A = this chain, B = another copy of it.
Amino acid sequence: MLTATRELVSDVGYAKVTIEAIAARAGVGKQTIYRWWPSKGAVVFDSFLALSEGADGIRLPDTGDLEADLKTVMRATVAEFADPAFEAPLRALNSQIAEDPDLATLYREKLAGPLDDAKKQRLLSAQRAGQLDEGADLDLVLEVLYAPLQQRWLHRSGPLTPEYADALVDVTLRAFAP
């Protein structure tokens, strides 16, 4: 069902996806889907969560070199955003999250929250190692690191390159230097 959902979103766009169409493509009854998910948004969300293999147990690399580790992570993230296969479904999911407070909660609890926790663990380790301002608000650090990328992608306002990933890390480390 989750694969059928993802394929459908990619083929026709989120707005035109219906529970009926997901059921038909997956070869199950509509009621089967409603048994597990309360809404279209929830199925689509889970279909992408499955793709990212879940956020639990995720750890960021910690070689002791904060700059190198963050550049590894940010280059991979930028590449993912620039991948056409992720484009349409991620964009649809993003709009849906902005308009649907329930889905926004689900997103925070199941995906963004655990991912942010993993990122903060890495930043805490850097604070302990004296590589990052001890007093820094880690939510703000993550916003400065990731929000420009999110916005550039959302508004298609600039290139998504490895150099851009590196620049975001450089800027963040300068802003929150010890």
In the complex, whether A31 has a CB less than 8 A from a CB of chain B is no
Chain B residue with the shortest CB-CB distance to A101? B156
Instruction: Tell me, rounded to whole Å, the shortest Cβ–Cβ distance linking A81 to chain B.
Output: 13
Task: Chain B residues near A172: list those with CB within 8 A.
Answer: 175
In the complex, whether A80 has a CB less than 8 A from a CB of chain B is no
Instruction: Tell me, rounded to whole Å, the shortest Cβ–Cβ distance linking A105 to chain B.
Output: 9
A171:B175 contact, CB within 8 angstroms = yes
In the complex, whether A32 has a CB less than 8 A from a CB of chain B is no
B91:A155 contact, CB within 8 angstroms = no
- Given known pairs A98-B91, A150-B151, the reply for A171 and B157 (CB within 8 Å) is no
In the complex, whether A174 has a CB less than 8 A from a CB of chain B is yes
